[in-house]
Structures are given as structure tokens and as C-alpha cells.
Amino acid sequence: MNVPLSILDLAPISAGSSAQQALRNTVDLARHAEQWGYQRYWLAEHHFVAVASSSSITLLGLVAAATSRIRVGTAAVQVGHHTSASIVEAFGTVDALYPGRLDLGLGRSGHRRSQFGAEPSHPKRERPVVDTATGRTEVRDGVVIPPPFDHGRITDRSRYLAGLHALHQEGAQPQDYAEQVDDIRALLAGTYTTPDGHALHAVPGEGAQVELWLFGSSGGDSAQIAGRLGLPFAAAYHVAPGTALDAVDSYRAAFRPSATLSEPYVVLSADVVVAETDAAAQRLAATYGHWVHGIRAGGGAPPYPDPDDTAPLTADQTRLVADRTATQFVGAPATVTERLAALQRVSGADELLITSVTHDHADRLESHRLLAEAWGARAARAA
């Protein structure tokens, strides 16, 4: 079954470029995505790294203004860094001018300080120890499912924890995730009441025509809450290929029909690079592992390296990112569409969410164009 394709954009900053250019590239890609028939254009939220989408809701408004039909959303607002009211008011502001086109995706990032520990995993100035992956890689119908990544293998957590500290008011603690989802729903519906009994109304925000999504990477809270509330769910195979299908299963098992959905609706993400030939695509994707390694080594996403002047990863570095490079979809249009179709079959996804990072913006545009054309042609043949 050929399902709709959508785009997840991190607004990556390439080596030698700037945040300003990355934002121009995002708006340009969104305009093209609308022309090429993509269903949604979602924006990620990341902080203190070489991507320009840190203020994803602000960027959402700019993309909505630059397009006319495509749905625009967040994947996802890191709710641990925001209050419920600030999220609803910001979305309500954009929806007031571009009604009925917004997807409010929520994610648990910002709640997970304990997951990464309170201290760096090795003393500063000592050489990090890189563990080899444990567990067995499974292949289902050609879809690679590696062992879940152990976050204890992140070689330095100190920078991540410093970023969390900078994003939170001194002494503030993130609200319980399930409670925050409930508060956001109540603010949108106009039924929010404070613990001491005051009814508050988000202006703008209340009654906004936004579609609420939860985004997750495992079978934990996000998947289960989305299912219990009858909300659509997006699973992050591109980030967590070892657990994303578990997230889908958990969501479906927990699903209860709601006024929003009568049956589960799943979007599954995939990291994709398409070019005219397999070899050309592999060259463009040659530094993807370097980019992921920068994240897992503790420095955060670096400027995306140019494959023409970047040395190969070492054996230890390659092992640290093997789950991500093995699950990237790279090749000519026929190669990638065949693999994406397998991912859809295995997961039963109702929609695929495509993220793509290359050093040159023109190559990223071409990757999305080639994929849209090949996917559309595949659908026409199946009709």
C-alpha cells in the first residue's frame, strides 16, 4: 500500500554555512514540498547544536506564511522546556492567521534528565571508552531492526546536561508529561481550570483548529498516552530504529476510539537520501555517520560535514553509530522506494515521515523531489 509521504525538517546547518542560510533553505524546501505533493511539513526542536530549528513554533509560523496548502507542524515541541499555556498561545497565534493547517506535535524531550544521568560518563580529559553494540540485529522483510541503543554509551553527557540547565528556570521542574498533555488539551478546548479552581482561557489558543499529535521512540509513556487518548501517533524510527516498532505496537495495544480518531493512526519516520544512482546517493550520505557521532560523543549535532573533505570514521566511531547508518535509506529512487515500502508493510504505518540531511541544499531538494516522483509513480502502478 502506498501511503502519503510527509517531511520532517531539522533545518540543518552545513559546514561552512550559517543558521540564516539554513532557515532560508527550510522555507525553500517547504515551498517545494507543497508543489511535490507531500502531506505535511514538520519541524523538529533542538537546542545548542548546529541546527536552526530551536524555536520550532516560530519557524512553523514562517513556513505557514510561505506556503498555502500543506499542513505544517512540530515534531515535536519538547514540552519539558515550555509551559502548557505558552505552547497553546503560540499555536493559537499562528492558527489565527493560517487556520486549520497546523499539527501540534508533542514530545517528552526535556523530561528525561534522569535518562542521561547527573554526571558525565567519564572524567574530563580522559579518553572516552566506546563500547561495542550488544544484542542481535533483526531483519524483517528487509527492514533492519538493530538492538536498542544504550544511552550509557554516550561518551560525555556534560554538555547535554548544561543545555538542560540553560533551558529551565532556576529550580523549576518539568511538569508530569501526562498531566501536561491533559492541560494542553484542556486549554485548546476551553475547559482548563487551575488547581485552586480558577478557569483560565488561552487567547489566542482556545478553539484553535490544530491537530494534536504525540511523538515517541519507544513503547513507553508517549505511545501509551496517545493510544489511551485516541490521538494520532508518530514513531521515530529515524532516531530509535531499535525501539520504534515497539512504540507502534504499544500505541495500537493502548488505543481507545475518541472524538478525534475511530482507529489508530501511525506516522513512522525514516532518514532518507535519494540521488539518480545508488553510488551518488551513497556519496552524499557518506558523512551521516560523522554527524550522528558528533551527537553521541556528547558535542551535539555538528555542522553537517562535506563528504568531499571529511576523513572516514575510525572503527570505534563506526561501531557507535552503526544502528543509525544501517537504518538510513540511501540509494536511487527505485532502491529507496522498495525499502520504504517494506518499512510501511512491516509497521503498518498510515504515513511515512521523511527526514533528509545532505551538505548541499540542492542535493536535499533533489532527494525529496526524486522520492516524491518515484513514490507517486509506484502508487500509479499499483492503482
Average pLDDT of the chain is 92
Residue-level pLDDT at 298: 87
Q: Of all helices (H) and strands (E), which one includes residue 355?
A: strand 351-355
Among the listed residues 332, 228, 204, the one whose alpha carbon sits nearest the alpha carbon of residue 277: 332
Backbone angles phi, psi at 160, to 5 degrees: -60, -45
Kindly tell me if the per-residue pLDDT of 41 is higher than 60: yes
Task: For 165-198, write each residue's pLDDT tens digit.
Answer: 888 888 788 889 999 999 999 999 999 999 999 9
Which triple of cell numbers denotes residue 207?
478553539
Kindly tell me if the per-residue pLDDT of 360 is higher than 70: yes
- CA torsion angle 182 185 190 195 (round to 10): 20
Kindly tell me if the per-residue pLDDT of 126 is higher than 70: no
Residue-level pLDDT at 134: 54
Query: Domain range for residue 358?
Result: 5-382
Task: For 60-110, write each residue's pLDDT tens digit.
Answer: 999 999 999 999 999 999 999 999 999 999 999 999 999 999 999 999 875
Dist CA 293 CA 291 (whole Å)? 5
Which triple of cell numbers denotes residue 71?
499542513
Kindly tell me if the per-residue pLDDT of 50 is higher than 80: yes
Residue 104, helix vs strand vs coil? strand
Structural contact between residues 254 and 224, judged by C-beta atoms closer than 8 angstroms:
yes
Which triple of cell numbers denotes residue 62?
514562517
Residue-level pLDDT at 232: 98
Task: For 365-379, write each residue's pLDDT tens digit.
Answer: 999 999 999 999 888
300-325 burial: b if 16+ Cβ within 10 Å, else e: bbbbbbebeeeeebeeebeebbbbbb
Q: How many residues does the chain have?
A: 383
According to DSSP, the β-strands at 5-9 and 102-107 are unpaired
List of residues 6+ apart from 360 with CB closer than 8 A: 14
Residue-level pLDDT at 124: 36
How far is C-alpha 179 from the geometric centre of its chain's CA atoms? 22
Task: For 272-316, write each residue's pLDDT tens digit.
Answer: 999 999 999 999 999 999 999 999 998 899 999 999 999 999 999
Structural domain count, the chain: 1
Minimum mean pLDDT range among 39-53, 164-178, 325-339, 355-369: 164-178
- Give mean pLDDT, residues 3-7: 98
Residue-level pLDDT at 123: 36
Residue 174, helix vs strand vs coil? coil
Kindly tell me if the per-residue pLDDT of 363 is higher than 80: yes
Instruction: Report the CATH number at residue 312.
Output: 3.20.20.30
Residue-level pLDDT at 155: 67
